[in-house]
Amino acid sequence: MIKRILLVGLVVAMILLVFAPSTMAAKKVLIGLVVELSGSGAPVGLKFERGAHMAAEEINAAGGILGRQIETFSLDNKSEPPAGVAAMRKAVARKPFAVLGSVYSSCTIVNMPILEKAGIPQFTGSEAPKITQQGNKNIFRGSYHAGLSMEKVVKWLTEVLKVKKMAIIYANNAFGKGGRDAIVSLLKPKGVKIVEDIASEYGQTDFTGELARVKRSGADTLFVYHHEEESGRMLIQIKEMGLDEVMRITGHTTLIGSDPIRTLCVKDHPGILMNIHYDENGDIDRESFLVTVQNQEQVITGILPPLHAEWFEKCK
């Protein structure tokens, strides 16, 4: 997660280098963070904030942006859309060059019009597809939207794992529904039967009822599409109920056009962690990683290529 958020911060820096006017009068480049610092999204929001600060420190130590230092400020959206709107209005009042956040899709969907109207670029960790399907040219993602990422996931599920019967547990919000809708629409034409399709709430602590339904369903695979904290609780209960002994447990991290905005290559911009591409909607394309947990540590077991390898020819 820290690497992913650090990547977002570094990408912001590179895009600022491209788009910032050379006559910018301010002595510092003001960047706002409107993220989940409390509430159910705090585990991911705090990491997002920490990664952005790490990136700013590294960029400042290297001389800043066009010789100007980055100054950041943080505002808490409390993991709630109404609070996110209020926080974003406060951010705009400070006239930042750009804003990072929010992470929760439900917060981003309601606060992005505020930045769009102000003409301020927004860099989000949200994955709901409709965020970049509304014609807002000011918004950019730091991760795949659910529809694009699920194309890779479904290819892996059907061609590598040979899934036949799947149960799904997803977050009952914009993030979860976006991922759920994407994977279901892609799996059905492949002949995969969805034997359980269960919405659960973020902030939920007990998933016994949902997991009992999954256990009785005859699924060969469970796909979990939830936020970090809920996923952690669910994994403990999955182990306690022995689900991992009777089916595969899979899931996703929190998850085009022909006229590209920008492809950034590590060989040209050593500060970024991997080659990335933004399309005209602000959606990102890059490599993805398959991860398993071994001895309570994440271990990379495979790398999925970008959806559009042709965009990365210049990075070779």
Total-model pTM: 0.65
Sequence-separated (6 or more) residues with CB below 8 Å from residue 56: 9, 31, 70, 72
Asked if residue 75 and residue 222 are part of one domain, the reply reads no
State the pLDDT at residue 199. 97
Asked if residue 150 and residue 136 are part of one domain, the reply reads no
Residue 164 lies in a domain: yes
Among residues 126, 16, 31, the alpha carbon closest in space to that of 71 is found at 31
- For range 47-71, the mean pLDDT: 91
Sign of CA dihedral 33, 141, 115, 22: positive
State the pLDDT at residue 143. 78
Residue 294 lies in a domain: no
Q: Are 142 and 4 in contact (CB under 8 A)?
A: yes
- The domain of 183 spans 146-251
Phi, psi of 120 (to 5 degrees): -105, 125
Q: Which of 235, 251, 267 is the last residue of a domain?
A: 251
State the pLDDT at residue 82. 95
Asked if residue 136 and residue 6 are part of one domain, the reply reads yes
Measured between alpha carbons, how far is 160 from 304 in angstroms, rounded to an integer? 12
Asked if residue 167 and residue 124 are part of one domain, the reply reads no
Asked if residue 270 and residue 245 are part of one domain, the reply reads no
Among residues 242, 282, 218, the alpha carbon closest in space to that of 11 is found at 282
Q: Give the number of domains in the chain.
A: 2
Q: How confident is the model at residue 223 (pLDDT cuts 50, 70, 90)?
A: very high
pLDDT tens per residue, range 29-38: 999 999 999 9
Q: pLDDT above 90 covers what percent of the chain?
A: 48
Asked if residue 170 and residue 45 are part of one domain, the reply reads no
State the pLDDT at residue 253. 60
Query: Does residue 22 surpass a pLDDT of 50?
Result: no
Asked if residue 17 and residue 137 are part of one domain, the reply reads yes
Going from the C-alpha of 184 to that of each of 189, 191, 193, 217, the distances in angstroms are 9, 11, 9, 17
Residue 302 lies in a domain: no
Token couple for 147 = 């529809």
- CATH number of the domain bearing residue 99: 3.40.50.2300
Measured between alpha carbons, how far is 114 from 234 in angstroms, rounded to an integer? 35
Out of 119-128, 151-160, 267-276, 298-307, pick the least confident.
267-276
Question: Which residues are 144's β-sheet partners?
Answer: none
Token couple for 260 = 């590209």
pLDDT tens per residue, range 274-296: 888 877 677 888 888 888 888 87
Out of 11-15, 74-78, 105-109, 308-312, pick the least confident.
11-15
Query: Does residue 68 surpass a pLDDT of 50?
Result: yes
Asked if residue 190 and residue 51 are part of one domain, the reply reads no
